[in-house]
Amino acid sequence: MRNWTSLLVLSVLVLLSGTLARAHAQTSPPFKTGEWRIEAVMTMVSKSPGMPSMPGRRSSVLECLTSQHLVPGKNPKMSNKCTFSKHLAGNTLYTEIRCGNEKTKGEYTYEKTSFHGKSVTTFTGPMPMRMETRLKGTYVGPCRHS
């Protein structure tokens, strides 16, 4: 009986230590908080008859990135029917947003002062299409406070 109790206590401690280690695990990739120059190329492939695809469209913006705002772009308001998930593996952040007939998967790999990544949005339903955005970012300096 005593051996079973010791084994049970030891098992609980091992499980608890694993849970605590995950709770304190890195939740943000290694990058420098501040203003970043982000270069993006977006392409859209239509799968709907009569709706043309769009060739690569380039853009460049300056954006302030923080540990709470890792993914470049405006954060849209999501309805209650949308789900958002993310996980970090090493220095790569994986994201997924599901909202009705739209699904966006993102993958962003960060270094201290640079990152690269892509997001792919697929739309199903009466006008199916696929939009892909490739991103490169470079740290510029501290965020400007307006």
In this predicted structure, the answer to whether residue 17 has a pLDDT above a threshold of 80 is no
Asked whether residue 59 is domain-assigned, the answer is yes
Can you say how many angstroms the Cα of residue 62 is from the centroid of all Cα atoms in its chain?
18
DSSP annotation of 71:
S
pLDDT digits (tens, 9 = 90+) for 21-54: 333 345 667 888 999 999 999 998 887 777 777 8
Please check whether residue 33 lies inside any domain of the structure. yes
Query: Which of 62, 60, 100 is CA-nearest to residue 81?
Result: 100
| Domain harbouring 98, CATH code | 2.40.128
* Residue 59, domain extent: 29-141
Helices within the chain (DSSP H only): 2-23
Q: Note the pLDDT tens digit of each residue in 102-144.
A: 999 999 999 999 999 999 999 988 888 899 999 999 999 999 8
**Residue located via tokens 């993006």:** 40
| Residues counted in the chain | 146
Residue 13 lies in a domain: no
Tell whether 128 is covered by a domain. Answer: yes
Examine residue 14 and state whether it is found in any structural domain, yes or no. Answer: no
Question: Considering the domain boundaries, does residue 79 fall inside one?
Answer: yes
Instruction: Specify if 3 maps to a domain.
Output: no
Token pair recorded at residue 56: 């690569």
DSSP readout, 18-52? Answer: HHHHHHTS--S-S---EEEEEEEEEEEEE-STT--
Number of domains in the chain: 1
Predicted TM-score of the model (pTM): 0.69
Classify residue 22: in a domain, yes or no.
Answer: no
